Structure 1
């Protein structure tokens, strides 16, 4: 995709309210990091109260994935998850507008040598990530250390799309945005030895998926990871991130590449991916994106797991 460009139409009155909101967000984001954590938690508490539909989806996911926990424990985890989501709103703004030096002080990166070695070997990398609430700032921090291309879906508001892409791409001017539907473009980059951020942990429907267990539940799991690795002749390198509880920043871990991947079948590969997803989520469940209806697609004959939207 071409680099985002500022356009005169952004001065049109229909964008003034968005400009005002972005300006206020920029001002608040100048506060110290720990203050933003506190404000984010307050925002998350407010979201917990008013975002009824999302709260019900997250609560149902926690009920499905952690049946061993008591209702009280799950409610506490749910509230912490919304607090993490509130913090993510300011982490997004930090990644867009903080100086590179200020942002870099929050990064604690492990395993960068795996990306460096793949680069030396001329191998493309599928950086297999997860939809944690820290997704935006994690990508920004890693992007300062290594060129990472990203799958991208254009935002409906052109001004917001410009701000978002400009904020994301400023950390590494060599990084590229790839349209999510541009499979050919993605494979071309992988064969050229590029590293591409890719998250296979959401439900994209049964058509391009197979059903394998996740938290003990049959979950529609995309087979694209195996196909991209095979056709792009690429390594699959797991990547996890975590907001540290002591307020010192973020732990980013690039894990060793998966061995013997792709395997003997899509089912085997997807099961392996889901086992990794489950283990990673269990390490910091309060920071995972539980508001996605992960189990909305069901195998033939199985009942729906979510209530109808209200």
Structure 2
């Protein structure tokens, strides 16, 4: 069944990827009408999230952000499909690093770098980062249940020489590289909700207590790696810019969870600047009322 789903979906994605961007965005507009107005995909989740983090905003303001978000979501889905066939030259034109000299400066410290992302703007197109760095590029991802789509995702995201590593193999691979003195830049998406446990860290995100992923920070502190945040902004439809913001050159000098808090504050800033580009369909605040049970 998994292979059947794959062979039905793959030709559609490949066909879509061959479309020019102008036609792609016309299709995206059609998807928006279907997803938002007809299907109403996760509209309740999105609305509840927006009302929770923006209690001061009116119904009209919430509705405006919600509509802009769904338009961006449709664009991003088709841009992901476009990645299957996009050229390196075209992607470099559409996803630009504004301060590549900061990468060079961090690399000059001769330490591997933990690069933390949020689910904001277009993290998928950050695969072009390998063109700006000398270190080995690694990206941590959650393995998909369907092995055929998992391979497809790995192929797409590694087409410009970034290596994907699953969450389960992250620590061992980084330790192996460090033991061999292979310097790397390791990308983590770290703003979503982890499984609850007694030792989970509860921080604040958008003014609300939530459990936080701390794996990136723990690895950075244990191995004394540098830590940075990749701030991705949407310039206009189909065009993005990214800025490297250094959080720590000597991560082990920071108190526990301080780097995680610094990262979340950077994501918050972006959400306040342009909330429509955050990934509101995730149930990021689903455990907000359970903190007392784990503290």
TM-score normalised by structure 1 residue count: 0.82
Distance 1:257 1:116, change over 3 A: farther
How far does residue 230 in structure 1 lie from its aligned partner after superposition? 1.1
1:197 to 173, 187, 192: 187
Aligned residue pair count: 286
Report the CA distance shift for 1:187/1:59 in structure 2 as closer, same or farther (over 3 A): farther
For residue 165 of structure 1, report the CA deviation from its aligned partner: 1.1
Equivalence map 1:147-296=2 (5 Å): 147-172=136-161, 175-182=162-169, 183-189=171-177, 192-207=182-197, 208-245=199-236, 247=237, 249-258=239-248, 261-262=251-252, 265-296=255-286
Specify whether residues 259 and 109 from structure 1 end up closer, same or farther in structure 2 by C-alpha distance, changes over 3 A only: same
1:236 CA drift (Å): 0.6
- Distance in 2, matches of 1:107 and 1:225, equals 24
Q: Which moved more, 1:16-25 or 1:100-109?
A: 16-25
2:44 counterpart residue number? 56
Gap runs ≥5 in structure 2: none
Distance in 2 between residues matched to 1:14 and 1:301, nearest whole Å: 39
Distance 1:204 1:278 in 2: 18
Give SS of 1:253's match.
strand
Distance 1:284 1:35, change over 3 A: farther
Root-mean-square deviation (CA, aligned residues, Å) is 2.5
* Distance across 1 between alignment mates of 2:202 and 2:268: 15
Partner of 1:85: 73
Q: CA deviation at 1:259?
A: 5.4
Q: 1:70-149 to 2 correspondence within 5 Å?
A: 70-137=58-125, 139-146=126-133, 147-149=136-138
Change in Cα spacing, 1:156 to 1:206, as seen in structure 2 (3 Å) is: closer
**TM-score if structure 2 supplies the norm length?**
0.86
**Do the aligned partners of residues 53 and 163 (structure 1) sit closer, same or farther apart at CA in structure 2, a change above 3 Å counting?**
closer
Give 1:263 deviation, angstroms.
5.4
Q: Displacement, 1:118? A: 2.5
Q: Distance in 1 between matches of 2:21 and 2:278?
A: 21
Q: CA deviation at 1:244?
A: 1.9
Deviation at 1:212?
2.1
Does structure 2 retain, via aligned residues, the 8 Å contact 1:103–1:141?
A: yes
Q: Distance in 1 between matches of 2:239 and 2:41?
A: 31
SS at match of 2:168: coil
